[in-house]
Amino acid sequence: MSRTQPGVRYEITVEGILDPRWSAWFDGLQLTTDASGRTTIAGPVADQAALHGVLTRIRDLGLTLLAVRRAEAP
């Protein structure tokens, strides 16, 4: 199946620290950083096309992708 369920939550971890102001560029997804210098970009993603859009933005910034995880609903 090539599409996710509407609003499926993803957590994408990258190497490096992104300022929370980048959230708007990532379609309003939440950005959080940790002490080890990693940023997690998280939130609901509409479908696979939107997920690939986020991953393309990560690539365009030259960030190292560490993990992509489909999160369980809270």
Asked if residue 38 lies in contact with residue 65, where contact means CB atoms within 8 angstroms, the answer is: no
Beta bridge partners of 69: 11
Instruction: Return left, alpha or beta for 28; rule: phi > 0 is left, psi -120 to 50 is alpha, else beta.
Output: left
Q: How much is the pTM?
A: 0.86
Share of the chain above pLDDT 70, in %: 89
Q: Which CATH architecture has domain 8-70?
A: 2-Layer Sandwich (3.30)
Pairing of strands 38-45, 8-15: antiparallel
pLDDT at position 3 over 60: no
Which residues, 6 or more positions from 33, have their beta carbon under 8 angstroms from its beta carbon?
17, 18, 39, 40
